[in-house]
Amino acid sequence: QVQLVESGGGLVQPGGSLRLSCAASGSIVSIGAMRWYRQAPGKERELVATITSSGSTNYADSVKGRFTISRDDAKNTVHLQMNSLKPEDTAIYYCNANLRRPLLTMYIDYWGQGTQVTVSS
């Protein structure tokens, strides 16, 4: 009964910017950490950025200084602001939320459907 819906992907030129969003909906008690992953063709899925429930952030070395993760708890939404994009940033980007549902004590990971980001001239 929980859905993570992503938006904001598309085609941009190198050096451009893009802002991804992912909104969680359904019966949710609380949301812990939220993350963005990406997977390029022929490569393994990699963790791009993490934001905890307290607002602490962490980034992959490849995106530090260029990407910013943020969250809006009032809207159960996580964002990824991507600046100075490079062709190697091209991938499908997936959002992930560790959340607790009603009547459950444990937090479980939920995933969005993914959104395509293509950086090309």
- In tens, the pLDDT along 49-82 reads 999 999 999 999 999 999 999 999 999 999 999 9
Return d(Cα 82, Cα 92) in angstroms, integer. 14
Distance, CA of 68 to CA of 79 (rounded, Å): 8
Does the pLDDT at position 100 exceed 90? Answer: yes
Q: Say how many CA atoms lie within 13 Å of 23 toward its Cβ.
A: 6
Q: Are 62 and 36 in contact (CB under 8 A)?
A: no
Mean per-residue pLDDT, 74-96: 97
Whole-number pLDDT of residue 1: 81
